[in-house]
Amino acid sequence: MSSGYLYDCRVEAKGKARVGIRDVARAAGVSPTTVSHSLSGKGRLPESTRERIARVAEELGYRPNASARNLVAGKTGLLGIAISESPESPFGLSDFDYFMQLLTAATTTAVEKGMALVVAGMGQGEEFFGGVDVDGLIVVDPVVGDQLVAANLRRGVPVVTTGRVPGETRPDDETYWVDNDHRRGTMSILDHLHERGGRKVALITTLPITSYTADDIEGYETWCEAHSQEPMLTVVEGPIDEGAGFAAAAELLDGPDPPDAIYATLDRLALGTLAAARSRGIGVPTDLIVAGCTDSKAGEWADPPLTALALNPEEIGRQVVEMLIALVQGDDPVERHQLVPTAILPRESTARVVSGQTPRMEDPHDEDS
Contact predicate 111/78, CB 8 Å: no
Each residue's pLDDT tens digit, 220-264: 999 999 999 999 999 998 888 999 999 999 999 999 999 999 999
CATH architecture of 78-180+314-339: 3-Layer(aba) Sandwich (3.40)
Contact predicate 38/55, CB 8 Å: no
Which CATH number describes the domain made up of 3-64? 1.10.260.40
Residue 1: its pLDDT value, please?
A: 36
Dist. CA 347–CA 73, nearest whole Å: 51
Dist. CA 55–CA 61, nearest whole Å: 10
Residue 104: its pLDDT value, please?
A: 94
Each residue's pLDDT tens digit, 102-125: 999 999 999 998 899 988 866 555
Q: CA-based Rg of the chain, rounded to a whole angstrom?
A: 26
**Vertex 56 angle, CA 54 and 61, to 5°:** 95
Helix (H) or strand (E) holding 182, with range, is helix 182-195
Q: What are the residue boundaries of the structural domains of the chain, listed by start?
A: 3-64, 78-180+314-339, 182-311+343-350
Helix (H) or strand (E) holding 290, with range, is strand 289-293
Q: Which CATH number applies to 182-311+343-350: 3.40.50.720, 1.25.40.10, 3.40.140.10, 3.40.50.2300?
A: 3.40.50.2300
Each residue's pLDDT tens digit, 3-15: 333 333 333 434 4
Claim: this prediction has a pTM higher than 0.75: yes
Prior bond to 46 cis, omega within 30? no
pLDDT at 136 over 90: yes
Q: Do domains 3-64 and 78-180+314-339 have the same CATH topology?
A: no
- Single-letter amino acid, residue 226: A
Contact predicate 163/318, CB 8 Å: no
Q: SS3 for 96?
A: coil
